[in-house]
A = this chain, B = another copy of it.
Amino acid sequence: MVAAEQSMTGNEIRARSRAAEFTQQTSGLASGYVQCNIVILPARDAAHFESFCKLNPKPCPLLAVSERPGDASLPKLGADIDIRTDVPQYRIWHDGMLTEQRHDIVDLWQDDWVAFALGCSFSFEEALIAAGIEIRNISEGVNVPMYRTNIDCKSAGPFGGKMVVSMRPMPAADAIEAIQICSRYPSVHGAPIHLGDPRTIGIHDLKHPDFGDPVTVQDDDVPLFWACGVTPQVALESARLPIAVTHEPGHMLVTDLKNSELAEKP
């Protein structure tokens, strides 16, 4: 079953999500296909959020946005996407508070809603693994550790706050290769924004991440820090909008794009 899901296409995962047959995490599934973070907002907030993404492209790499308010398709990411049904699990937010989790948002959808799809680290993790680099959170079977930093995002309207980063420790030679590989993937967070001493960016204890799980850091490891897709979620919470919808963390929109298509040509 797991092997079958690994080899499913984006289209197949979405069809099963739409039929409410698939409500799980998508990490490691439909391998090769681009997965996306999803944010859905009323039109009155959407312009500011789009500006926030464009001002902060490393944590918020915008892959697609609704072509007009109320349009539930995202044709850049897949021919038949219905953003009201195709995410395995949704979170509903009122005034910055998580109020509900659901498998679809068909009955909530409004004709002025705008959907944003943001790149996700699953894409570059796949490229690193293909190069033989160990991803510690994957080999230890836990979520990647994420930390609030002292780095200010550029604000737009109600959206702002500090950047959140994910951390992956690895030997120095792998760290250099990871920087080279990720530089080719600007649409999925790109190169790390920091390496080495965590205190430089306001992180005081790697053992206590603000989100996700701690991972082992070995003596010869260099910690690498990537701008993280949790940044827009934190910005969204602190904006305390009357209504907002996101994917449930780990339960991503799986698209028809291939990760290999995101790579800039050498």
Contacts and interface: CB of A to CB of B under 8 A. Distances in A.
Interface in A186-233: 191-197, 200, 220, 222
Number of copies: 2
A197 B195 CA distance: 12
7 closest pairs, A vs B, by CB?
A179-B179, A196-B222, A172-B194, A180-B183, A172-B195, A172-B196, A200-B220
B197 A175 contact: no
Contact of A180 (B191, B193, B194): B191
Nearest to A201: B172
A176 interface: yes
Scoring A171, A179, A222, A264 by chain B CB atoms within 10 A of each residue's CB, the highest score goes to A179
6 contacts: A171-B200, A175-B196, A176-B179, A176-B193, A195-B196, A200-B220
A141 interface: no
Interface size, A (range): 20 to 34
Interface of A: 171-173, 175-176, 179-180, 183, 191-197, 200, 220, 222, 264, 266
A247 B196 CA distance: 38
A175 B172 CA distance: 12
A103 to B, nearest CB: 40
A137 to B, nearest CB: 20
A172 B197 CA distance: 9
A122 to B, nearest CB: 21
A155 to B, nearest CB: 21
